[in-house]
Protein backbone atom coordinates (compact mmCIF):
# COMPACT_ATOMS: atom_id res chain seq x y z
CA UNK A 1 0.00 0.00 0.00
CA UNK A 2 2.95 2.22 -0.66
CA UNK A 3 1.86 5.64 -1.97
CA UNK A 4 3.44 9.02 -2.67
CA UNK A 5 5.14 7.97 -5.88
CA UNK A 6 5.24 4.17 -5.97
CA UNK A 7 2.75 1.64 -7.20
CA UNK A 8 2.43 -0.93 -4.49
CA UNK A 9 2.30 1.02 -1.25
CA UNK A 10 2.54 4.34 0.59
CA UNK A 11 4.86 7.04 -0.70
CA UNK A 12 8.21 6.87 0.94
CA UNK A 13 10.11 10.18 0.80
CA UNK A 14 13.85 9.66 0.80
CA UNK A 15 14.19 8.72 4.46
CA UNK A 16 17.00 8.92 6.93
CA UNK A 17 17.85 5.22 6.91
CA UNK A 18 18.82 4.92 10.57
CA UNK A 19 15.73 6.75 11.85
CA UNK A 20 13.55 4.92 9.34
CA UNK A 21 14.72 1.52 10.54
CA UNK A 22 14.50 2.59 14.18
CA UNK A 23 10.87 3.59 13.69
CA UNK A 24 10.18 0.38 11.80
CA UNK A 25 11.65 -1.74 14.59
CA UNK A 26 9.53 0.09 17.16
CA UNK A 27 6.30 -0.39 15.24
CA UNK A 28 7.15 -3.95 14.24
CA UNK A 29 7.72 -4.88 17.87
CA UNK A 30 4.10 -3.95 18.57
CA UNK A 31 2.75 -5.71 15.48
CA UNK A 32 5.02 -8.72 15.20
CA UNK A 33 2.86 -10.94 17.38
CA UNK A 34 -0.12 -9.95 15.26
CA UNK A 35 1.05 -11.23 11.87
CA UNK A 36 -1.79 -13.13 10.25
CA UNK A 37 0.32 -16.11 9.45
CA UNK A 38 2.21 -16.22 12.75
CA UNK A 39 1.99 -19.08 15.18
CA UNK A 40 3.60 -22.31 16.27
CA UNK A 41 3.01 -25.63 14.51
CA UNK A 42 2.27 -28.73 16.54
CA UNK A 43 2.40 -32.23 15.11
CA UNK A 44 -0.60 -34.50 15.42
CA UNK A 45 -2.04 -37.56 13.72
CA UNK A 46 -5.34 -38.65 12.21
CA UNK A 47 -6.70 -41.96 10.93
CA UNK A 48 -8.06 -42.22 7.37
CA UNK A 49 -8.76 -45.47 5.47
CA UNK A 50 -6.75 -47.40 8.03
CA UNK A 51 -3.66 -45.24 7.53
CA UNK A 52 -2.17 -42.83 9.99
CA UNK A 53 -1.69 -39.40 8.44
CA UNK A 54 0.38 -36.63 9.97
CA UNK A 55 -1.32 -33.28 10.41
CA UNK A 56 -0.13 -29.88 11.48
CA UNK A 57 -2.18 -27.85 13.94
CA UNK A 58 -1.42 -24.14 13.78
CA UNK A 59 -1.61 -22.12 16.99
CA UNK A 60 -2.01 -18.43 16.16
CA UNK A 61 -0.90 -17.47 19.66
CA UNK A 62 -4.27 -15.93 20.52
CA UNK A 63 -4.20 -13.47 17.61
CA UNK A 64 -7.23 -14.41 15.52
CA UNK A 65 -10.89 -14.13 16.50
CA UNK A 66 -13.95 -15.58 14.78
CA UNK A 67 -16.20 -12.55 15.29
CA UNK A 68 -16.21 -8.99 16.62
CA UNK A 69 -16.47 -8.33 20.34
CA UNK A 70 -20.23 -8.38 20.90
CA UNK A 71 -20.28 -5.24 23.06
CA UNK A 72 -18.71 -3.23 20.21
CA UNK A 73 -20.06 -5.07 17.18
CA UNK A 74 -21.94 -2.09 15.77
CA UNK A 75 -18.96 0.27 15.93
CA UNK A 76 -16.53 -2.38 14.65
CA UNK A 77 -18.64 -2.98 11.55
CA UNK A 78 -16.97 -0.01 9.85
CA UNK A 79 -13.96 -2.20 9.04
CA UNK A 80 -15.61 -5.50 9.92
CA UNK A 81 -17.53 -5.31 6.64
CA UNK A 82 -14.24 -6.02 4.86
CA UNK A 83 -13.47 -9.26 6.70
CA UNK A 84 -12.42 -11.85 4.11
CA UNK A 85 -10.14 -12.01 1.09
CA UNK A 86 -10.12 -9.60 -1.85
CA UNK A 87 -8.54 -9.45 -5.31
CA UNK A 88 -7.06 -6.07 -6.18
CA UNK A 89 -6.39 -4.01 -9.27
CA UNK A 90 -3.91 -1.33 -8.16
CA UNK A 91 -3.52 1.72 -10.40
CA UNK A 92 -0.76 4.28 -9.94
CA UNK A 93 -1.30 7.86 -11.15
CA UNK A 94 2.07 9.33 -12.10
CA UNK A 95 2.90 13.06 -12.03
CA UNK A 96 3.24 13.12 -15.84
CA UNK A 97 -0.40 12.03 -16.24
CA UNK A 98 0.28 8.41 -17.17
CA UNK A 99 -0.87 5.36 -15.20
CA UNK A 100 0.45 1.90 -14.44
CA UNK A 101 -1.47 -1.06 -13.00
CA UNK A 102 -0.74 -4.25 -11.11
CA UNK A 103 -2.77 -6.95 -9.38
CA UNK A 104 -2.59 -8.00 -5.77
CA UNK A 105 -4.58 -9.23 -2.79
CA UNK A 106 -5.91 -7.73 0.45
CA UNK A 107 -7.00 -10.02 3.30
CA UNK A 108 -8.83 -8.87 6.47
CA UNK A 109 -9.25 -10.74 9.79
CA UNK A 110 -10.71 -10.19 13.26
CA UNK A 111 -7.93 -10.12 15.87
CA UNK A 112 -7.34 -9.47 19.59
CA UNK A 113 -10.56 -11.03 20.95
CA UNK A 114 -12.50 -9.37 18.13
CA UNK A 115 -11.53 -5.89 19.33
CA UNK A 116 -9.57 -4.96 16.20
CA UNK A 117 -9.20 -5.65 12.49
CA UNK A 118 -5.88 -6.57 10.89
CA UNK A 119 -5.19 -6.94 7.20
CA UNK A 120 -2.42 -8.12 4.92
CA UNK A 121 -1.75 -6.04 1.78
CA UNK A 122 0.23 -8.02 -0.81
CA UNK A 123 1.22 -6.72 -4.27
CA UNK A 124 1.69 -8.66 -6.42
CA UNK A 125 -0.40 -11.53 -5.04
CA UNK A 126 1.42 -14.44 -3.42
CA UNK A 127 1.28 -16.64 -6.52
CA UNK A 128 2.98 -13.96 -8.61
CA UNK A 129 5.68 -12.77 -6.24
CA UNK A 130 9.30 -12.78 -7.33
CA UNK A 131 8.46 -12.08 -10.96
CA UNK A 132 8.47 -8.28 -10.91
CA UNK A 133 11.10 -6.43 -12.96
CA UNK A 134 13.74 -4.54 -10.95
CA UNK A 135 11.94 -1.20 -11.34
CA UNK A 136 8.70 -2.56 -9.85
CA UNK A 137 9.22 -3.36 -6.19
CA UNK A 138 6.91 -5.66 -4.32
CA UNK A 139 4.87 -4.81 -1.23
CA UNK A 140 3.99 -7.03 1.73
CA UNK A 141 2.43 -4.92 4.48
CA UNK A 142 0.03 -5.21 7.38
CA UNK A 143 -2.40 -2.74 8.98
CA UNK A 144 -3.81 -2.86 12.49
CA UNK A 145 -7.10 -0.96 12.99
CA UNK A 146 -8.28 -0.22 16.54
CA UNK A 147 -11.50 1.58 17.49
CA UNK A 148 -11.31 4.34 20.12
CA UNK A 149 -14.78 4.65 21.75
CA UNK A 150 -13.89 7.84 23.62
CA UNK A 151 -13.10 9.71 20.42
CA UNK A 152 -15.41 7.69 18.18
CA UNK A 153 -12.54 7.24 15.73
CA UNK A 154 -10.13 4.56 14.57
CA UNK A 155 -6.37 4.48 15.14
CA UNK A 156 -4.58 2.99 12.13
CA UNK A 157 -0.99 1.75 11.86
CA UNK A 158 0.40 0.41 8.57
CA UNK A 159 3.81 -1.29 8.38
CA UNK A 160 5.58 -2.50 5.24
CA UNK A 161 9.04 -3.94 6.01
CA UNK A 162 9.83 -4.11 2.28
CA UNK A 163 10.21 -0.32 2.34
CA UNK A 164 10.87 0.23 6.06
CA UNK A 165 7.57 2.16 5.90
CA UNK A 166 5.44 3.05 8.92
CA UNK A 167 2.27 5.14 8.54
CA UNK A 168 -0.07 6.20 11.34
CA UNK A 169 -3.53 7.64 10.72
CA UNK A 170 -6.83 8.49 12.36
CA UNK A 171 -10.00 7.42 10.55
CA UNK A 172 -13.56 8.69 10.58
CA UNK A 173 -16.58 8.56 8.28
CA UNK A 174 -16.96 11.67 6.12
CA UNK A 175 -19.77 12.01 3.58
CA UNK A 176 -20.24 8.25 3.39
CA UNK A 177 -16.52 7.52 2.89
CA UNK A 178 -14.00 6.08 5.35
CA UNK A 179 -11.30 8.76 5.47
CA UNK A 180 -7.93 7.95 7.04
CA UNK A 181 -5.66 10.97 7.51
CA UNK A 182 -2.05 11.28 8.57
CA UNK A 183 1.15 13.28 8.27
CA UNK A 184 4.38 11.67 7.04
CA UNK A 185 7.82 12.21 8.55
CA UNK A 186 8.45 15.10 6.15
CA UNK A 187 5.30 16.92 7.23
CA UNK A 188 3.21 16.06 4.16
CA UNK A 189 -0.51 15.53 4.84
CA UNK A 190 -2.05 12.51 3.14
CA UNK A 191 -5.31 10.59 3.23
CA UNK A 192 -6.31 7.05 2.29
CA UNK A 193 -10.01 6.66 1.54
CA UNK A 194 -12.39 3.67 1.25
CA UNK A 195 -15.34 4.58 -0.99
CA UNK A 196 -17.99 3.13 -3.32
CA UNK A 197 -18.39 0.31 -0.77
CA UNK A 198 -20.62 -2.71 -1.53
CA UNK A 199 -20.81 -6.22 -0.01
CA UNK A 200 -18.57 -7.73 -2.71
CA UNK A 201 -16.59 -4.73 -3.97
CA UNK A 202 -15.10 -1.42 -2.91
CA UNK A 203 -12.64 1.19 -4.09
CA UNK A 204 -9.75 2.86 -2.26
CA UNK A 205 -7.66 5.89 -3.13
CA UNK A 206 -4.61 7.63 -1.75
CA UNK A 207 -4.12 11.37 -2.03
CA UNK A 208 -1.46 13.85 -0.93
CA UNK A 209 -1.99 17.51 -0.11
CA UNK A 210 -0.35 19.97 -2.53
CA UNK A 211 -0.26 23.67 -3.41
CA UNK A 212 0.23 24.82 0.14
CA UNK A 213 -2.70 22.82 1.46
CA UNK A 214 -5.29 23.81 -1.14
CA UNK A 215 -5.58 20.72 -3.38
CA UNK A 216 -5.39 16.94 -3.16
CA UNK A 217 -3.52 14.95 -5.81
CA UNK A 218 -4.58 11.33 -6.33
CA UNK A 219 -1.63 8.95 -6.37
CA UNK A 220 -3.26 5.53 -6.30
CA UNK A 221 -6.62 3.81 -6.65
CA UNK A 222 -7.53 0.22 -5.80
CA UNK A 223 -10.49 -1.70 -7.13
CA UNK A 224 -11.23 -4.59 -4.78
CA UNK A 225 -13.44 -7.58 -5.55
CA UNK A 226 -14.30 -10.20 -2.97
CA UNK A 227 -12.88 -13.58 -3.93
CA UNK A 228 -15.40 -15.69 -5.83
CA UNK A 229 -15.92 -18.50 -3.29
CA UNK A 230 -16.60 -16.00 -0.50
CA UNK A 231 -19.05 -14.06 -2.67
CA UNK A 232 -20.96 -17.27 -3.45
CA UNK A 233 -21.08 -18.20 0.25
CA UNK A 234 -22.49 -14.77 1.14
CA UNK A 235 -25.10 -15.07 -1.58
Q: What is the block-wise mean pLDDT of the chain (235 residues), using blocks of 10 residues?
A: 50 48 52 44 44 60 94 96 97 91 96 97 89 76 96 96 93 96 92 98 96 88 91 61
Residue 204 lies in a domain: yes
Q: Is the dihedral of CA 191, 196, 199, 204 positive or negative?
A: negative
Which residues are 111's β-sheet partners? 64, 116
Task: With respect to residue 8, please indicate whether it lies within any of the assigned structural domains.
Answer: no
Q: Can you give the CATH number for the domain in which 221 is found? A: 2.40.128.20
- How many domains is the chain built from? 1
Domain assignment of residue 41, yes or no = no
The C-alpha atoms of residue 159 and residue 103 are separated, in whole angstroms, by 20
CA distance 110 to 146: 11
Q: Is residue 49 part of a domain?
A: no
Cβ neighbours around 125 below 10 Å, total: 14
User: 32: left (phi > 0), else alpha (psi -120 to 50), else beta?
Assistant: alpha
Does 169 map to a domain?
yes
Domain-embedded: residue 81: yes
Residue 230 lies in a domain: yes
- Determine, yes or no, domain membership for 229: yes
* Phi and psi, residue 199, nearest 5°: -55, -35
Q: What is the pTM of this model?
A: 0.76
Give the per-residue pLDDT at 235.
56
Phi, psi of 219 (to 5 degrees): -110, -30
Instruction: Check if the beta carbon of residue 159 is closer than 8 Å to that of residue 24.
Output: yes
For residues 103 and 91, what is the distance between their CA atoms, to the nearest angstrom? 9
Host domain of residue 129: 17-30+64-234
Q: Where are the beta strands (DSSP E) in the chain?
A: 40-48, 51-59, 64-65, 84-93, 99-111, 116-123, 139-148, 153-160, 165-174, 177-183, 189-198, 201-210, 215-226
Find out whether 101 and 92 touch, Cβ atoms under 8 Å: yes
pLDDT of residue 129: 83
CA-closest candidate to residue 110, choices 167, 165, 62: 62
Residue of 108, 174, 115 lying closest to 142 (CA atoms): 108
Amino acid sequence: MRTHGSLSGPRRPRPNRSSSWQELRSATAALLSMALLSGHAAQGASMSDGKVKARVVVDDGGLLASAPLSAMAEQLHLYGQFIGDWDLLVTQYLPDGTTTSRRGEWNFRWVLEGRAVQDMFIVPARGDRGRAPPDKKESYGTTLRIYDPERDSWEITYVDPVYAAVFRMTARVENGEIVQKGVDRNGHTYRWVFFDIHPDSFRWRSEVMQDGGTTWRKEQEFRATRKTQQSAARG
